[in-house]
Homo-oligomer: A and B are copies of this chain.
Amino acid sequence: MAKVCIIGFGCIGSGTYEILKHNQDIIAARTGESIEVKYIVDIRDFSQHEVAPLVTTDFDKILADDDLDIVVETMGGVGPAYTYTKAALEHGKSVVTSNKELVASKGDELFGIARQNGCKYFYEASVGGGIPIIRPMLTSLNANNITEITGILNGTTNYILTKMIKEGTDFDTAVSNAQKLGYAERDPSADVEGHDTCKKISILSSMALGRKVNYEDVYTQGITAVTSEDTKYAESLGCAIKLIGRFKQAADGAEVLVSPMLVDSSSPLYGVEDVFNAVKVTGDMLGDALFYGKGAGKLATASAVVSDIIEVLKDARDDINAPWLPCSEKIIKDYSHIRGSFLVRIKNEPDAFALALERFDNARTLEFIDGEFAVVTGELSVAELEASLEGLDVISKYMFA
């Protein structure tokens, strides 16, 4: 049984607790052992919460607990988070974090301390919420010289810009909408002024270069000056304005900046809307790879934290379960039992149309070409579809994905 301590029981910290509980069987199967949250460090009052018995403020007791494997730091900021993280690593306890500010400003030092003490400092949740980006860059892309990274790295600002572009909303109204929906904080400056994106692109740039990029050195312009007229101009050029964090290797040095930029409609980043994030990474061998998903949210981000916890535990074991085990039975459903909605083109023979209307009472009928018609079915199984098509002359049929 692996033992975990969560420091900072806010949104991501409590999400981490929930996932470890909700998916405990899957996680135990993949990790080779189960995981228990032994302590929660938070100064707030959780006495009415089920976790009350776990809550403590005595971090020294935790450091002295030889039974404890991993510290999860989800409190944010540099001050106490830095102190706790450093102390944990110095005591040989691996730390998993969602704290982009701490990783961007002290990552290099903390990686060094972790290495000296035979433990890990993992930070998948610090960039892109739950989207896998840190570990793919550290593993799957490591045959490549990373020449360019272009990212929509902040969901709040992307939501605001999407509102401005799609609905012509002005900046202030879009911000207050985002606040109402819980996407923006009461003080939205870290997001709208680009500071959040700046820390994230600094982390990715440091990984690409293998040396620390100081985030204070990165030119950072937010979206506060973007007007609806600007978004219309962009549209007339076939572009959308997005807040972009960009890293680029040029012949004369590396370029890193955060700025609202024009993204052409041919780019896979163009259609990334609302609170979604996307990161395009270019490797000299691979070409472009795109990572896309929900860049924020309690469980999405906590999912990245838990994946790091599992990696720490797997790193310490040699007997990790195989990706899959042998299985002699057929473990998937027969095709005939698969369910879906279908488009079916049917020859318009005598009575066929009337028969189809009778069989597919929820179906939409369309007429396109002489001599045929089509139905779009509701959800049913392949077998049910086949039965319903009995006696009809089918030209072609497709399931909706």
What is the interface of chain A, defined by CB distance below 8 A to chain B?
A: 19, 22-23, 26-27, 29-30, 107-109, 111-112, 115, 118, 124, 130-132, 134-136, 138-145, 150, 205-207, 209-214, 217-219, 225-227, 229-230, 232-234, 236-237, 239, 241-242, 244, 246, 250, 252-257, 259-264, 267-269, 271, 283-294, 297, 299-300, 302-307, 309-311, 318-319, 321-327, 330-333, 335, 337-339, 343, 345, 366, 368-369, 374, 376, 396, 398-401
Contact = CB atoms under 8 A, between A and B. Distances in A.
Contact of A332 (B254, B262, B311): B254
A263 B326 contact: no
A323 to B, nearest CB: 5
B130 A135 contact: no
B284 A335 contact: no
List the number of copies, as a whole number: 2
Contacts of A136: 132, 135-136, 140
| Of A134, A368, A398, most B-chain CB atoms within 10 Å | A398
Given A213-B331, A292-B290, A30 B142 contact: yes
B237 A307 contact: no
19 contacts: A130-B289, A132-B139, A132-B141, A138-B323, A139-B139, A141-B307, A143-B309, A207-B324, A212-B327, A233-B368, A233-B374, A241-B398, A254-B331, A254-B332, A256-B333, A257-B338, A285-B303, A287-B299, A288-B294
